[in-house]
Structure 1
């Protein structure tokens, strides 16, 4: 058994002011994403809703950190809630990267559908593995098992994040992308890789305590990359960056019609 008495809780006292300020910044991207998605009637729907969920998950995560009293921060329920919210926000962006490229690919072949389904299943699996990792972490006799599940989850997620580049190359969509689309997907995917690598490092017992002893690691390598990815998606919203054979919204005789 590993001698990690604070595990799984961080040893630092969360700074509520910092969490609140970053939540306020996050809300700007959330509002911008919602308004722009509303303007195009949430088209394409999967991208709009996945990234809306991602925005909301990270925003609520920060609100919880800012609102919960310091003496309750290290409770089992709060730990599970904030970890689940962060995991959801991160995974929604990763899936959105794939969907964006597949939307550009246009070809609705069984292979492309199979790839997307496989990616979603892997992302869900990595999330499900966090459940036993978190639950076992509260039992001193099962800390090793907890780290094993945490490491498996991080490895699967990192593999999916890196596999994206192979799928992007396979789809041959680079030449069809607008400059905005290219910048969007590069920034979003690279930031996802940064977070996934950090998650893997954090899942290693030798580094877990060191990382969780300073709050700055959480904000620099986990929250900040995701918020930057959110802002990139909001600034380069699919209504401007997604090149499609049919427009998301077309106007005919002063009436707006939605394109499927």
Structure 2
């Protein structure tokens, strides 16, 4: 039996598509025959052939509108929307270190890009009676680290709840909505963090990784996920092979979250 994902010729927008998980998603979709538009704050150092890149800051209303307009101008709409963009720049120090500006920044990085782009691009999906939206959340929504990720975790929890609500509204009209919740993923940023921890504690890179994994309560698999593994999951979920899946959140964390 062939396991063709039946994605050839589909149109996809991937936010945060130049590094880490986003770049891996772009590559996986291209490999599956998808036409891909990707966005990030700057163009990639090594662009993937055939991908249309739109430099924009989707954490702002203006940037999200610019990207949505590019999609509508080039294609008239999309079949797949993967909201990967996110992250945290909040300082450590717990709740007292988070002023209103920090809170709004985390929401604008991790919740509002998806809300704004969905709102702009969903009408065309609904008009064609088909489409898939994936929101990349995080296990931090159920496993926050109070020292540094309270606002980020709260924003991701909001994203997961929004995703569920949206799925209940639009799945009856032919648009599937899902969320994917990674644990620690060995992206460029994660490698830099492990190297920094290693330097601070007088160990090597592997030692730095172990310290980070211990801070999460351990990863039973013994390693972080790889960007390609997260991308493969997302690529399957947006395909017709996953046509009966909607409204659910899919955890990919090597067993980090210790509850069901």
Q: Same fold by TM (over 0.5)?
A: no
Taking structure 1 as the reference length, what is the TM-score of the superposition? 0.29
Structure having the larger proportion of residues in strand = 2
Structure having the larger proportion of residues in helix = 1
| Greater C-alpha Rg | 1
Taking structure 2 as the reference length, what is the TM-score of the superposition? 0.29
Work out which structure has the larger RCO, using CA pairs closer than 8 Å and 6 or more positions apart in sequence: 1
